Structure 1
Amino acid sequence: MIKVASRLTQLTTVGLNRSNQVSTALPVVSLFSGAGGLDLAIERADSEPLAPHDLGSGLARVAVATDYNGPALQTLAQNFPHTKSINGDIRLLETDQLLASAGLSQSDPVLVVGGPPCTPFSKSGFWLEQKRESRDPNASLLDEYVRVVRETRPEAFILENVQGLTYKTHKEQFERLLKGLTELGYNPQWKVLLAADYGVPQLRRRVFVVGRRDGRVFEFPKPTHSGWSEHTRKFDSDLIPHVTSQSAFAGLVEPTEPDEYVDGQYGDLAAEIPPGQNYLWHTTRYGGRDHFEWRSRYWTFLLRLDPNRPSTTLQAQPGPYVGPFHWDNVTTEQGAERARRLRVPEILRLMSFPDDFIVPTKRADVQRQLGNAVPLELGKAVARALLTQLGYIPMEKPVPLSIPLSLSA
């Protein structure tokens, strides 16, 4: 308790004036930053849950961010004007350069955070032999994360990735990651978390690895929400129900977008699929046409959202017939009924991002950057738990059950 009290006293002026944020906030180093989903979560760690317009107190700030993807860093720069950014290959980036760009020295960063590119560990691409055998060269980026932690010596770290990193296929890389962090004294803890269990209207599973320099065990945040998912029909009735897609979209009045129709070879079939169903509707076991063989496609093929449930995982690079698509049909200029793709404001809501988050102008870039991002409320839950256990945030008050399910303002 002495530790907590002393740190809170030291930080009493933090957040009183957000214009002082850059000079007073806890410095954070962000690796593999992408568009800044985890960064946003860190900077809003002490904001209210499901309050997208609550900016937090300014307790922490991302001092420097780096990524190989230039367009993603441009998005980050628009949303984090105070953050220094470095575009390039982390394997060629010296830690001293990373720190110096933000005016930091070793041990200055309170946190190192980031999610190495998930492609090597994702289910997507498992048809490639090198991925099935875990020989993807990009998997070495996990070692670069360990290197930066070793050379910066932050008070703690947060690493995020797809659930696939924990699969038997990638056991060697995952165990090497944990061993490297353990040898540094950080006592890494890991857990797969379901985003919907923390107020995100999306059934998205991500693994988080968290460690503290003092070696104390990090305790993961307990779920605040519950509901049935694709893996279980059990849920905790004492928790807040999962946020549904329909409630997440409440209040949105967005214009149509170019190429939002699901047309072409499967246009008619997609339009006939009911909410919550996929291509299996058009097999002998359901009520549609007898067009597909049972379980001959990926689950997301022609998948429609169920308005009464969270969305399935949003894909970063979906094919033209990969959902989820909206549950409502739209009418084309020619009068045909068609399923439609999710619009950008809807994608932001399903990621629990604020409506005013600045995104690229090209739809493909939006899908790629947000599909690769950490959902805000999930990242906030982990960051808030860590900063609380480190003594920078007072012990959390219980989450009120009266929290509105809508993500609108």
Structure 2
Amino acid sequence: MSYKVFDFFAGCGGFSKGFELAGYDIVVANDIWEPAKITYEYNHRNTHFILKNIEELESREIANLYNGNPDVIIGGPPCQGFSLAGLRLIDDDRNKLYREFVRMVNEFQPKMFVMENVPGLVKRAKGYFVEQILQDFREIGYHVEYAILKASDYGIPQIRQRVFFIGSRNNKFPIFFPPQTHFDPKGKLDLFNINSMQEHVTLGQAISDLPLLDDPTDMGEEIQNYIREPENDYQRLMRINSNYVYNHIATNHSQKTRDIIHLVPEGKNFKSLPEELRGTRKFNIAWTRLDSKEPSYTVDTGHRHHFHPWTDRIPTVRESARIQSFDDSFIFQGTKTSQYTQVGNAVPPLLARAVAQALTASLEKEEIYVTN
């Protein structure tokens, strides 16, 4: 059975991609940002995409495109107001988008839903916001549980963390979260579980087969060849259905910027610079050169804080996409600046796939219960 999904705040489609990899059918997606829509539609040819502010989106408009209720609703509504020290979650105007997600779940009553957000939400205001979220969904008939998942623990070469809220309708559907599949070999090891897991995927393992682009006079082409055969399972996975490299154009930094980057060893930051250069960017992650032997720091939206481990530039869009676990057949559209934003804002597809597979176990368990 192919479960039907609505994806709100879909962006370029990372959440959708992961659910598709797990066998789900994304029938409707919605976002307000046109560059994301263009990329989404290019890579999800069979999904109805609605470019519209969700506050103005009515259920009948969706029904005109898809006649039926989804099995699952997914999305990552922005929750800026959750960062306030006060306790006025519902009244904070900045949380209107979160309330729209609740509205869509209430109107379509899917069997289950998944809401993704930043992990800091869990501890803010001494847990008040989490309790409010749980209460909001209880009031519309859902049992909800949440967990903070670390991307690197699921085969993504990145230390990104996100909180996932999973809801089941009327308490009928058991809620499962995905079991960890990868571990940090330098960390504390659980010998009972380690035999069933693989080591974390490192940044070097993720990108070593891509053209290095270390010549400042050659920024790369729109379509390029791989420089070698895939060297590991992750690269083989990323290259499924792809014969060429796309979205791999280097940024043309000034010579001064390149000279400063060149002074920073792999895995180090501004503290490695001469005293007179440390103040050129005044924040802790300034001039950080990524470590190829570790999972990457969280991919940002193109703010130029983190630099390539082996050459003097920031990662390309394709390298960033590899770090996020977008396979190479997923081609980003629009300006390079918008592509960086699309990649940085996305849910890593392989993390979304792990969550989707856990949902499948929940849905199948409920079907067995109903059948018996």
Within-5 A mapping of 1:208-357: 208-215=164-171, 216-227=173-184, 233-236=187-190, 238=194, 239-253=197-211, 256-257=219-220, 260-263=251-254, 266-282=257-273, 288-289=274-275, 291-292=277-278, 297-318=282-303, 320=304, 322-323=305-306, 325-329=307-311, 339-357=312-330
What residue identity is the alignment partner of 1:367? Y
CA displacement, residues 214-251 of structure 1 (integer Å, 9 cap, x when unaligned): 4144121121111179xxx4344613111001111132
Match of 2:242 in 1: none
- Aligned counterpart for 2:46 among listed residues 82, 89, 103: 82
The Cα of 1:312 is off from its aligned counterpart by 0.2
- Aligned counterpart for 2:336 among listed residues 329, 348, 363: 363
Match of 1:386 in 2: 359
- Aligned counterpart for 2:21 among listed residues 34, 41, 44: 44
C-alpha change, 1:195 and 1:314, in structure 2 (3 Å) is same
The question of 1:179 aligning with 2:130 is answered no
Within-5 A mapping of 1:78-157: 78-104=42-68, 108-117=69-78, 137-157=93-113
The question of 1:62 aligning with 2:20 is answered no
Helix, strand or coil at the partner of 2:205:
helix
The Cα of 1:158 is off from its aligned counterpart by 0.6
TM-score, with normalisation over the residues of structure 2? Answer: 0.80
Q: 5+ residue gaps in structure 1?
A: 1-10, 12-24, 46-58, 123-128, 283-287, 330-338, 396-409
C-alpha change, 1:358 and 1:89, in structure 2 (3 Å) is same
Contact kept? 1:178, 1:188, Cα under 8 Å:
yes
Question: Take 2:327 and 2:366, find their aligned partners in 1: how far apart are those partners?
Answer: 23
C-alpha change, 1:289 and 1:266, in structure 2 (3 Å) is farther
Q: 5+ residue gaps in structure 2?
A: 214-218, 221-248
The question of 1:31 aligning with 2:8 is answered yes
The question of 1:160 aligning with 2:133 is answered no
CA displacement, residues 113-160 of structure 1 (integer Å, 9 cap, x when unaligned): 0111365568xxxxxx89999896332211111111111000100111
Question: Take 2:26 and 2:298, find their aligned partners in 1: how far apart are those partners?
Answer: 27
The Cα of 1:96 is off from its aligned counterpart by 2.7
The Cα of 1:31 is off from its aligned counterpart by 0.4
Question: Take 1:393 and 1:101, find their aligned partners in 2: how far apart are those partners?
Answer: 28
C-alpha change, 1:299 and 1:381, in structure 2 (3 Å) is farther
User: What is the Cα-based RMSD across aligned positions, in Å?
Assistant: 3.0
Helix, strand or coil at the partner of 2:328:
coil
CA displacement, residues 259-310 of structure 1 (integer Å, 9 cap, x when unaligned): 624436654332211111111223xxxxx546437xx943331111101001
How many residues get paired? 328
Helix, strand or coil at the partner of 1:145:
helix
What residue identity is the alignment partner of 1:326? H
C-alpha change, 1:276 and 1:386, in structure 2 (3 Å) is same
Contact kept? 1:387, 1:393, Cα under 8 Å:
no
C-alpha change, 1:262 and 1:327, in structure 2 (3 Å) is farther
The Cα of 1:357 is off from its aligned counterpart by 0.4
Question: Take 1:367 and 1:298, find their aligned partners in 2: how far apart are those partners?
Answer: 21
Question: Take 1:270 and 1:132, find their aligned partners in 2: how far apart are those partners?
Answer: 44
Helix, strand or coil at the partner of 2:278:
coil
Higher helix proportion, which one? 2
C-alpha change, 1:121 and 1:196, in structure 2 (3 Å) is farther
TM-score, with normalisation over the residues of structure 1? Answer: 0.73
Contact kept? 2:159, 2:295, Cα under 8 Å:
yes
